[in-house]
Amino acid sequence: MPTPTAPLILGSESPYRAAVLATTGLPFTQAAAAIDEAAHKHSLHTQSPEALALGLAHAKGAAVSALHPEAIVIAADQVCAFENQLLSKPMTADVAIQQLTQLANRSHQLINGVVLYQHGKGLWGTTHTCTLHMRALTDAEIAHYVHCDEPYFSCGAYKFESLGIHLFSEVEGTSDAIQGLPLLPLLSAMRAHELYTL
């Protein structure tokens, strides 16, 4: 059983990231990062999508680590980039339908920023990009999908780990990264910093 060298905290309330991290067998708890995400996004709005995702991940990691300095903190953020624009979580059915109509029959990128913190210091951080090719969809298919899966709080207006997988013809990236937590670079960094043992 893999064992962290200190308490491990996922600095996110996301059930999707928690489900991904749980597949590693590492015991962890979750703690929300008390940051003003909108303010951070505004301060970073002139940056690249990669810099934005990584900057938000660092803000979250620093906030959680400040409250739990002994713990190993994993924090992440994901942005959806489409034709030089960033798509936010849709929050409503109408916006979800609008976003999926834009994405249908086109490609977009999901860009993850992931960091490790301990004792209030960033130990490591990286970005990881997945490219997803959405198939052509009719208006009826989009409306039916949104009604069934309710992807209102999902980047890009779909839940890839659920019915959203039916929307795609091809993806360049792993399922864990698409869900917001690329495990292979994360675990490699944790091993390099001797943060867990097998």
pLDDT at site 55: 94
- Predicted TM-score (pTM) of the model is 0.93
149 noted as active-site residue: no
Among candidate residues 77, 139, 149, 176, the one labeled active-site is 77
Per-chain mean pLDDT for the chain: 95
Helix (H), strand (E), coil (C) string for 107-167:
EEEEEEEEEEEECCEEEEEEEEEEEEEECCCCHHHHHHHHHHHCCCCCCCCCCCCCHHHHH
pLDDT at site 42: 66
Q: What tens digit of pLDDT does each residue of 133-183 get?
A: 999 999 999 999 999 999 999 989 999 999 999 999 999 999 999 999 999
Average pLDDT in the 73-78 region?
96
